[in-house]
């Protein structure tokens, strides 16, 4: 294979440098911020993502987009305010998110669905943005606050939260580099031409290796390795659906990135699309597999 062109190499360096700045900030926040402050920070980032989503969905005018953003922010605030020690509303919303992501593949295989400028298509896409963001916010708050699993160990919540971030980052990184090096067979050429089956397998392999290495850190027994690998596998696969879903909406809008806010990465939405799908499914899977 010929070496990458200078522009491609420069773009890769920019991408790596931006990640090197963002990743430590995210890791420190997850490990050391209390759950309430982390939820506020994550909520702010997700609102930035929804601002970008509103444009992709075809909502015109800053006033209309601001109203959409305000409605979602108020909903997050209401969830935080109404949730007592048991976090019951937050848990219910997170679990509803799992149902939403079970339906998304049906949209992915029907590329033309809601593609036009009809009002119903815009409303549906705006609903999809909220259905992706709000349960993901609820899931990360639930996970960070109490671990969302056997024993509800609050001390392990930050570690589990960091773990889900790391496996998604590992999957993205593995897919990017293995796809760049060996990618031949397109995964979803109409939705995201840059993604390949080779990239998917490379990302899965790196995420599964990381999951095995994290077992002692998370206090798990080696007899629980099959459950851990299953949780990682399902989480990574659904994260790909999140990535592809944002790509589909971008294709409908004729956009390459959700914005140009982050050098080498695009917009905030381009960085969190995988996590939006992964978080609710990870939390439910962790509970179901008794980890």
HEC letters along 112-131: CCCCCCCHHHHHHHHHHHHH
Q: With respect to residue 17, please indicate whether it lies within any of the assigned structural domains.
A: no
Q: With respect to residue 16, please indicate whether it lies within any of the assigned structural domains.
A: no
DSSP 65-83: HHHHHHHHHHHHHHHHHH-
| Spacing of C-alpha 68 from chain mean position | 21
- CB neighbourhood size of 123 (10 A): 14
Q: With respect to residue 65, please indicate whether it lies within any of the assigned structural domains.
A: yes
Q: Backbone dihedral region of 215: left (phi > 0), alpha (psi from -120 to 50 degrees) or beta?
A: alpha
The DSSP letter of residue 149 is S
Long-range contacts of 197-202 (CB under 8 A, 24+ apart): 199/174, 199/175, 200/175, 200/240, 202/174, 202/175, 202/177, 202/178
The DSSP letter of residue 155 is G
How far apart are alpha carbons 95 and 145 in whole angstroms?
16
How far apart are alpha carbons 176 and 196 in whole angstroms?
9
Q: What's the pLDDT at 1?
A: 41
Q: What's the pLDDT at 15?
A: 67
Q: What's the pLDDT at 122?
A: 95
Q: Minimal CA–CA distance to 240: which of 145, 174, 285?
A: 174
How far apart are alpha carbons 239 and 244 in whole angstroms?
9
Q: With respect to residue 171, please indicate whether it lies within any of the assigned structural domains.
A: yes
Q: With respect to residue 15, please indicate whether it lies within any of the assigned structural domains.
A: no
Burial of residue 289 (number of CB atoms within 10 Å: 0-12, 13-18, 19+): middle
Torsion of CA 167, 194, 14, 263, to 10 degrees: -90
Q: With respect to residue 45, please indicate whether it lies within any of the assigned structural domains.
A: yes
Domains of the chain: total:
1
N-to-C CA span, the chain: 43
Q: pLDDT per position in the chain (291 positions), as tens? A: 444 555 555 566 776 777 788 889 999 999 999 999 999 999 999 999 999 999 999 998 999 999 999 999 999 999 989 887 778 899 999 999 999 999 999 999 999 999 988 999 999 999 999 999 999 999 999 999 875 555 556 678 999 999 999 999 999 999 988 998 898 999 999 999 889 999 999 999 999 999 999 999 999 999 999 999 999 999 999 999 999 999 999 999 999 888 888 766 778 999 999 999 999 999 999 999 999
The residue range of the domain holding 227 is 26-288
Torsion of CA 198, 204, 210, 211, to 10 degrees: -160
Q: Are 76 and 134 in contact (CB under 8 A)?
A: yes
Q: With respect to residue 32, please indicate whether it lies within any of the assigned structural domains.
A: yes
Q: What's the pLDDT at 5?
A: 52
Q: With respect to residue 52, please indicate whether it lies within any of the assigned structural domains.
A: yes
Torsions phi, psi of 193, nearest 5? -60, -25
Measure the CA angle with vertex 63, ends 60 and 65; round to 5°. 55
């Amino acid at each position: 294979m010929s070496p990458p062109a200078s522009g491609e190499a420069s773009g890769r360096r920019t991408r790596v440098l931006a990640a090197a700045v963002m990743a430590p900030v995210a890791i420190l926040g997850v490990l050391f911020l209390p759950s309430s402050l982390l939820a506020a920070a994550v909520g702010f980032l997700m609102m930035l993502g929804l601002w970008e989503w509103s444009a992709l969905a075809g909502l015109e005018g800053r006033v209309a987009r601001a109203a959409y953003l305000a409605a979602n922010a108020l909903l997050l605030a209401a969830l935080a305010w109404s949730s007592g020690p048991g976090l019951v509303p937050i848990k219910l919303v997170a679990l509803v998110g799992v149902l939403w992501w079970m339906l998304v593949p049906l949209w992915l295989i029907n590329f033309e669905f809601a593609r036009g400028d009809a009002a119903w298509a815009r409303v549906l896409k705006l609903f999809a943005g909220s259905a992706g963001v709000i349960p993901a916010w609820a899931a990360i708050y639930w996970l960070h606050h109490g671990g969302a699993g056997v024993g509800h160990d609050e001390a392990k919540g930050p570690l589990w939260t960091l773990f889900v971030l790391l496996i998604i980052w590992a999957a993205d990184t593995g897919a990017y580099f293995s796809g760049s090096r060996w990618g031949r067979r397109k995964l979803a050429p109409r939705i995201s031409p840059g993604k390949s089956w080779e990239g998917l397998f490379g990302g899965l392999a790196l995420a599964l290796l990381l999951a095995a290495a994290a077992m002692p850190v998370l206090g798990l027994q080696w007899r629980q390795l099959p459950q851990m690998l299953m949780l990682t596998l399902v989480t990574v696969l659904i994260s790909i659906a999140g990535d592809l879903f944002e790509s589909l909406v971008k294709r409908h809008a004729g956009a390459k990135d959700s914005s140009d806010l982050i050098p080498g990465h695009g917009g905030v939405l381009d960085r969190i699309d995988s996590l939006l799908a992964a978080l609710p499914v990870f939390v439910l899977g962790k509970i179901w597999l008794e980890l």
